[in-house]
Amino acid sequence: MQFCVLLVDDHKIMRDGIKAILSRGEEFRVVGEAESGPDAVQFVKLHRPDVVLMDIGLPGLNGVETTAEILRFHPECKIIILSMYDDENNVVSAIRSGARAFILKKASDSDLLEALRMVARGGAYLSPQVSDRLLSRIQKGDLESRQASSALDVLSPRELQVLRLVAEGKTSKEIAVVLDLREQTVRSYRKTMMKKLGVNNVAGLTQLALSTGLTQLPNAQAAAD
């Protein structure tokens, strides 16, 4: 059986490299490429690929948020997150969003293919460097999510997406474009969030998003991707 794969990365040079590796075998066929989260969501809605291999550091809607969005429309889709680095927050966020695998971009061809095989057949996979680090953290007993994040537990995944974009300074109109929603719907989300979180304005929302680590100041965000 041949599995259909969508590649999502804003760097064409990365997509080309992965496509070349997959083309060496018969198991996987690249049926599409996307360079942004919204493009990936649109492709999945139309073509329903078996597997999505996606960069975590996409501009706008990032890989984690795009994962959640794709799974809303196509829950059977198997998503693999690719990352330059093995930051614990990235790994945990990716898995929580529904991704079935987290692999580093410096993974060998055999690791990449192994991840694709495992995930395409319903399993899960973590790069050896990632799983080693997680095991070590679990053994030391310090693998806990940030306590401050609990303040946002009352929000739905969609509200968290909107909150992150609000905190990044985007207007309701811009958020509507990124998330493929009506502007009025975004405004409604903002009102609901303010009520749930007990804040009265955008500054309050932004402060909460920063203090809980949901988003970072622009400089720090670039360094963390």
Partner 1 sequence: MDKVERAGKILHDDVGPLLSAAGLRLQLIKMDYPETAGLVAQVTELLDQAIDRVRAVSQELLGK
* Binding of residue 13 to partner 1 (CB under 8 A): yes
The nearest distance, CB 10 to partner 1, in angstroms, is 9
Q: Which of 135/222 has CB closer to partner 1?
A: 222
- Compute the distance between CA of residue 38 and CA of residue 62 in angstroms, rounded to an integer: 10
Q: Which stretch binds partner 1 (CB under 8 A): 8-16, 147-155, 173-181, 193-201?
A: 8-16
* Binding of residue 56 to partner 1 (CB under 8 A): no
* Binding of residue 18 to partner 1 (CB under 8 A): yes
* Binding of residue 30 to partner 1 (CB under 8 A): no
**Sole residue written with tokens 């997959």:** 22
Q: Which of 12/195 has CB closer to partner 1?
A: 12
Beta bridge partners of 36: none
**Sole residue written with tokens 């597997």:** 51
Pick from 27, 45, 84, 195 the residue near partner 1 by CB under 8 A.
Answer: 84
Alpha helices for the chain (secondary structure H) = 12-23, 37-47, 63-73, 88-96, 109-120, 128-140, 157-167, 172-179, 183-197, 202-211, 218-224
User: Which two tokens mark 142?
Assistant: 């310090």
* Binding of residue 14 to partner 1 (CB under 8 A): yes
Q: Which stretch binds partner 1 (CB under 8 A): 19-27, 45-53, 133-141, 160-168?
A: 19-27
Q: Kindly report the backbone phi and psi dihedral angles of residue 198, in degrees, each rounded to the nearest multiple of 5, phi listed first.
A: 70, 35
78, HSE (Cβ side, Cα atoms, 13 Å): 19
Residues near partner 1 (CB under 8 A): 11, 13-14, 16-18, 20-21, 24, 84-85, 105-106, 108-109, 112, 219-220, 222-225
